[in-house]
Amino acid sequence: WTGSVPLVPITSMARAFRDAHVVLLANWINDGKSTESSSVRETCYQGADIDKMVSVEITETNLKKQIRAIHAENPNVIVLVLARYADTRMTIYVNERTLPQVKALNDAVKARLQDEPNTFFLDLDFPLNENIFQSLSKVHPNCRGDKVMATDVINKLYELKVLSRGLDLAASDTCLGSSDCANLDLACCQRSALCYVVNGTTCAPYGPGIQ
Protein backbone atom coordinates (compact mmCIF):
# COMPACT_ATOMS: atom_id res chain seq x y z
CA TRP A 1 0.00 0.00 0.00
CA THR A 2 1.42 3.39 -1.01
CA GLY A 3 -1.52 5.70 -0.46
CA SER A 4 -1.40 8.52 -3.00
CA VAL A 5 2.24 7.78 -3.86
CA PRO A 6 2.52 5.89 -7.17
CA LEU A 7 4.41 2.62 -7.28
CA VAL A 8 7.95 2.85 -8.66
CA PRO A 9 8.80 0.03 -11.11
CA ILE A 10 11.73 -2.11 -9.96
CA THR A 11 13.60 -1.39 -13.20
CA SER A 12 13.33 2.36 -12.61
CA MET A 13 14.49 1.96 -9.01
CA ALA A 14 17.46 -0.13 -10.09
CA ARG A 15 18.51 2.42 -12.73
CA ALA A 16 18.32 5.18 -10.13
CA PHE A 17 20.74 3.24 -7.92
CA ARG A 18 23.17 2.39 -10.71
CA ASP A 19 25.87 4.75 -9.47
CA ALA A 20 25.28 4.20 -5.76
CA HIS A 21 27.91 2.72 -3.49
CA VAL A 22 25.36 1.47 -0.95
CA VAL A 23 21.60 0.86 -0.96
CA LEU A 24 19.67 0.31 2.29
CA LEU A 25 16.43 -1.66 2.01
CA ALA A 26 13.91 -1.51 4.84
CA ASN A 27 10.71 -1.82 2.84
CA TRP A 28 9.89 -5.38 3.91
CA ILE A 29 9.25 -4.78 7.59
CA ASN A 30 5.44 -4.56 7.25
CA ASP A 31 5.09 -7.84 5.31
CA GLY A 32 4.57 -9.87 8.47
CA LYS A 33 2.38 -7.24 10.09
CA SER A 34 0.02 -7.27 7.11
CA THR A 35 -0.96 -10.85 7.91
CA GLU A 36 -2.58 -9.60 11.13
CA SER A 37 -5.02 -7.34 9.28
CA SER A 38 -8.33 -8.98 8.40
CA SER A 39 -8.88 -6.61 5.44
CA VAL A 40 -5.42 -7.34 4.02
CA ARG A 41 -5.86 -11.08 4.54
CA GLU A 42 -9.10 -10.92 2.58
CA THR A 43 -7.92 -8.55 -0.17
CA CYS A 44 -4.32 -9.64 -0.73
CA TYR A 45 -4.37 -13.25 0.43
CA GLN A 46 -7.95 -14.07 -0.61
CA GLY A 47 -8.81 -15.22 2.89
CA ALA A 48 -5.92 -17.70 3.08
CA ASP A 49 -4.70 -18.78 6.50
CA ILE A 50 -1.31 -17.04 6.48
CA ASP A 51 0.87 -16.05 9.40
CA LYS A 52 4.02 -13.97 9.87
CA MET A 53 6.44 -16.79 9.16
CA VAL A 54 4.62 -17.77 5.96
CA SER A 55 4.96 -14.13 4.86
CA VAL A 56 8.74 -14.71 4.61
CA GLU A 57 8.06 -16.35 1.23
CA ILE A 58 6.66 -13.02 -0.01
CA THR A 59 9.48 -11.04 1.58
CA GLU A 60 12.12 -13.27 0.01
CA THR A 61 10.59 -12.99 -3.46
CA ASN A 62 10.24 -9.21 -3.35
CA LEU A 63 13.66 -8.52 -1.84
CA LYS A 64 15.45 -10.81 -4.29
CA LYS A 65 13.70 -9.13 -7.22
CA GLN A 66 14.90 -5.75 -6.01
CA ILE A 67 18.42 -6.87 -5.12
CA ARG A 68 18.94 -8.69 -8.42
CA ALA A 69 17.59 -5.76 -10.42
CA ILE A 70 20.05 -3.44 -8.64
CA HIS A 71 22.96 -5.81 -9.25
CA ALA A 72 21.95 -6.25 -12.91
CA GLU A 73 22.64 -2.54 -13.30
CA ASN A 74 25.77 -2.56 -11.13
CA PRO A 75 26.99 -5.71 -9.33
CA ASN A 76 29.34 -3.63 -7.17
CA VAL A 77 26.53 -1.90 -5.28
CA ILE A 78 26.44 -3.06 -1.67
CA VAL A 79 22.89 -3.81 -0.53
CA LEU A 80 22.11 -3.65 3.18
CA VAL A 81 18.80 -5.13 4.33
CA LEU A 82 17.70 -3.65 7.63
CA ALA A 83 16.20 -5.98 10.21
CA ARG A 84 12.61 -5.50 11.33
CA TYR A 85 12.65 -3.62 14.61
CA ALA A 86 10.73 -4.67 17.71
CA ASP A 87 7.01 -4.32 18.32
CA THR A 88 5.87 -1.66 20.76
CA ARG A 89 4.47 -1.77 24.29
CA MET A 90 2.59 1.18 25.80
CA THR A 91 3.36 3.09 22.58
CA ILE A 92 6.97 4.06 23.35
CA TYR A 93 8.64 0.89 24.72
CA VAL A 94 9.95 -2.31 23.18
CA ASN A 95 7.50 -5.17 23.55
CA GLU A 96 9.62 -7.88 25.18
CA ARG A 97 6.86 -10.47 24.86
CA THR A 98 7.05 -10.57 21.05
CA LEU A 99 10.84 -10.30 20.71
CA PRO A 100 11.23 -14.06 20.02
CA GLN A 101 8.77 -13.81 17.09
CA VAL A 102 10.54 -10.76 15.69
CA LYS A 103 13.90 -12.52 15.98
CA ALA A 104 12.54 -15.63 14.25
CA LEU A 105 11.24 -13.48 11.40
CA ASN A 106 14.56 -11.64 11.03
CA ASP A 107 16.55 -14.87 11.18
CA ALA A 108 14.37 -16.42 8.48
CA VAL A 109 14.76 -13.46 6.10
CA LYS A 110 18.49 -13.30 6.81
CA ALA A 111 18.88 -16.98 5.93
CA ARG A 112 16.95 -16.56 2.66
CA LEU A 113 19.32 -13.80 1.53
CA GLN A 114 22.64 -15.23 2.66
CA ASP A 115 23.63 -16.43 -0.83
CA GLU A 116 22.87 -13.16 -2.58
CA PRO A 117 26.18 -11.55 -3.65
CA ASN A 118 27.13 -8.19 -2.16
CA THR A 119 24.09 -8.33 0.10
CA PHE A 120 24.24 -8.09 3.88
CA PHE A 121 21.59 -8.30 6.60
CA LEU A 122 21.83 -5.62 9.27
CA ASP A 123 20.78 -6.86 12.71
CA LEU A 124 19.10 -4.35 15.01
CA ASP A 125 18.41 -4.13 18.73
CA PHE A 126 16.74 -1.45 20.84
CA PRO A 127 17.19 -1.03 24.61
CA LEU A 128 14.42 -2.36 26.83
CA ASN A 129 12.25 -0.22 29.12
CA GLU A 130 13.34 3.02 27.46
CA ASN A 131 11.41 5.60 25.45
CA ILE A 132 12.47 4.52 21.96
CA PHE A 133 9.31 4.84 19.80
CA GLN A 134 7.31 7.87 18.68
CA SER A 135 4.09 8.77 20.42
CA LEU A 136 2.72 10.72 17.44
CA SER A 137 3.66 8.57 14.44
CA LYS A 138 3.11 5.37 16.35
CA VAL A 139 5.17 2.16 15.95
CA HIS A 140 8.00 4.15 14.34
CA PRO A 141 11.31 4.74 16.17
CA ASN A 142 11.92 8.19 17.64
CA CYS A 143 15.21 10.12 17.53
CA ARG A 144 16.84 7.62 19.87
CA GLY A 145 15.79 4.69 17.68
CA ASP A 146 17.03 6.53 14.60
CA LYS A 147 20.37 7.09 16.32
CA VAL A 148 20.71 3.36 16.98
CA MET A 149 19.90 2.51 13.36
CA ALA A 150 22.25 5.14 11.93
CA THR A 151 25.05 3.96 14.23
CA ASP A 152 24.52 0.34 13.16
CA VAL A 153 24.61 1.29 9.48
CA ILE A 154 27.86 3.24 9.90
CA ASN A 155 29.41 0.41 11.89
CA LYS A 156 28.43 -2.16 9.24
CA LEU A 157 29.86 -0.04 6.43
CA TYR A 158 33.10 0.24 8.36
CA GLU A 159 33.20 -3.53 8.86
CA LEU A 160 32.70 -3.99 5.11
CA LYS A 161 35.53 -1.48 4.45
CA VAL A 162 33.19 0.86 2.58
CA LEU A 163 34.13 3.54 5.11
CA SER A 164 37.77 4.02 6.02
CA ARG A 165 36.88 5.38 9.44
CA GLY A 166 34.27 4.13 11.88
CA LEU A 167 32.93 4.90 15.32
CA ASP A 168 34.60 3.87 18.54
CA LEU A 169 31.78 1.78 19.99
CA ALA A 170 31.55 -0.15 23.23
CA ALA A 171 29.55 -3.38 23.45
CA SER A 172 25.79 -3.10 23.02
CA ASP A 173 24.99 -5.49 25.85
CA THR A 174 26.55 -3.11 28.37
CA CYS A 175 26.02 0.31 26.79
CA LEU A 176 22.98 0.37 24.49
CA GLY A 177 20.62 1.32 27.32
CA SER A 178 23.10 3.26 29.46
CA SER A 179 21.66 6.56 30.66
CA ASP A 180 24.24 7.85 33.15
CA CYS A 181 25.72 9.92 30.35
CA ALA A 182 27.98 12.18 32.41
CA ASN A 183 29.85 9.17 33.76
CA LEU A 184 30.23 7.18 30.53
CA ASP A 185 33.40 6.92 28.50
CA LEU A 186 33.05 8.11 24.90
CA ALA A 187 32.86 4.62 23.39
CA CYS A 188 29.95 3.69 25.64
CA CYS A 189 28.37 7.10 25.03
CA GLN A 190 28.43 6.60 21.26
CA ARG A 191 26.85 3.15 21.57
CA SER A 192 24.11 4.32 23.95
CA ALA A 193 20.69 5.19 22.52
CA LEU A 194 20.22 7.68 25.36
CA CYS A 195 23.43 9.71 25.13
CA TYR A 196 25.56 11.47 22.51
CA VAL A 197 29.09 12.79 22.22
CA VAL A 198 29.41 16.58 22.29
CA ASN A 199 32.33 18.09 20.36
CA GLY A 200 34.22 14.82 20.64
CA THR A 201 34.97 15.41 24.31
CA THR A 202 31.97 14.96 26.60
CA CYS A 203 28.86 12.82 26.88
CA ALA A 204 25.39 14.34 27.21
CA PRO A 205 21.80 13.02 27.43
CA TYR A 206 19.99 12.38 24.13
CA GLY A 207 16.23 12.81 24.23
CA PRO A 208 13.46 11.10 22.28
CA GLY A 209 12.69 14.21 20.23
CA ILE A 210 9.65 16.47 20.14
CA GLN A 211 6.41 14.63 19.33
**DSSP states along 82-128:** EPPPPPEETTTEE-GGGHHHHHHHHHHHHHHHTTSTTEEEE-----T
Three-class SS state of 195:
strand
Q: What is the pLDDT of residues 28-66, one digit of tens each?
A: 988 888 888 888 888 888 888 888 898 999 999 999 999
**pTM of the complete model:** 0.93
What percent of the chain has a predicted confidence (pLDDT) above 70? 99
Q: What is the pLDDT of residue 63?
A: 98
d(CA 166, CA 187): 12
CA proximity to 188, closest of 199, 146, 196: 196
d(CA 47, CA 38): 8
Q: Determine the average pLDDT of the residues in 64-69.
A: 98
Q: What is the pLDDT of residues 81-90, one digit of tens each?
A: 999 999 999 9
